[in-house]
Structure 1
Amino acid sequence: MRRPSLLVTLLALAALLPAACTTAPEPDGKAPPGGRWQPRPGTGWQWQLSGRLDTSVDVPVYDIDGFDHSGKTVARLHRDGRKVICYLSTGAWEDFRPDAGDFPESVIGRGNGWEGERWLDIRRVDVLEPIMAERLDMCRDKGFDAVEPDNMDGYRNRTGFPLTAGDQLRYNRLVARLAHERGLAVGLKNDLDQIPELVGDFDFAVNEQCAQYGECDRLTPFVDAGKAVFHVEYELPTGRFCADSRRLELSSLLKRYALDAWRRAC
Structure 2
Amino acid sequence: MRERYFVLLLIFLFLYSSLSMAESDNVKKPLPTAIISYLLDNASLQVPSLNDTWQWQLSGNINTSYDVSVYEIDLFETSEETIKILQAKEIYVICYFSAGSLEDWREDKDQFDDSVIGKAYGGWAGEFWLDIRSQNVKDVMLSRLDLARQKGCDAIEADNVHGFEEDTGFPLTAEDQLKFNRSLAFEAHNRAMAIGLKNDSSQAEELVDDFDFAVTEELFEFSEESALSFFITKGKPVFNAEYGEDYLNNEQHRAAMCLQSNALGFHTIILPLGLDDAFRYDCYVEEGSVDTKLTR
TM-score (norm 2): 0.78
Per-residue deviation at 1:42? 3.9
Task: Give the whole-Å Cα distance in 2 for the aligned partners of 1:197 and 1:101.
Answer: 33
Out of 256, 260, 269, which is 1:244 matched to? Answer: 260
Residues 64 and 86 in structure 1, CA contact (< 8 A), matched pair in contact too? yes
Q: How does 1:158-177 map to 2 (within 5 A)?
A: 158-177=167-186
Is 1:260 paired with 2:272?
A: no
Task: Give the whole-Å Cα distance in 2 for the aligned partners of 1:230 and 1:54.
Answer: 19
Amino acid at match of 2:154: D
Amino acid at match of 1:263: R
Q: How does 1:217-228 map to 2 (within 5 A)?
A: 217-228=226-237
Deviations 1:58-79 (Å, cap 9, x if unpaired)? 1011100000011111111111
Out of 126, 129, 133, which is 1:123 matched to? Answer: 133
Per-residue deviation at 1:240? 3.8
Deviations 1:153-210 (Å, cap 9, x if unpaired)? 0011110111110000000011111111100000000111101110000000000111
Q: Structure 1: which 5+ runs fail to align? A: 1-28
Residues 39 and 204 in structure 1, CA contact (< 8 A), matched pair in contact too? yes
Per-residue deviation at 1:211? 0.3
Task: Give the whole-Å Cα distance in 1 for the aligned partners of 2:107 and 2:48.
Answer: 30
Out of 76, 83, 107, which is 2:85 matched to? Answer: 76
Per-residue deviation at 1:147? 0.1
Q: Structure 2: which 5+ runs fail to align? A: 8-41, 248-253, 284-296
Partner of 2:2: 30
Task: Give the whole-Å Cα distance in 2 for the aligned partners of 1:229 and 1:253.
Answer: 11
Structure with larger RCO (C-alpha < 8 A, sep 6+): 1
Partner of 1:52: 61
Question: Per residue, is there more helix in 1 or in 2?
Answer: 2
Number of residue-to-residue matches in the alignment: 237
Deviations 1:225-260 (Å, cap 9, x if unpaired)? 111101011004122410111011101000110101
Residues 254 and 264 in structure 1, CA contact (< 8 A), matched pair in contact too? yes
> Which sits farther off after the overlay, 217-226 or 232-241?
232-241
Q: How does 1:8-157 map to 2 (within 5 A)?
A: 29-32=1-4, 33=7, 34=42, 35-113=44-122, 114-124=124-134, 126-157=135-166
Task: Give the whole-Å Cα distance in 2 for the aligned partners of 1:253 and 1:170.
Answer: 31
Deviations 1:32-79 (Å, cap 9, x if unpaired)? 243321111242100001111110011011100000011111111111
> Which sits farther off after the overlay, 153-162 or 36-45?
36-45
Percent identity over paired residues:
45
Task: Give the whole-Å Cα distance in 1 for the aligned partners of 2:116 and 2:200.
Answer: 21
TM-score (norm 1): 0.87
Is 1:184 paired with 2:193?
A: yes
Amino acid at match of 1:211: F
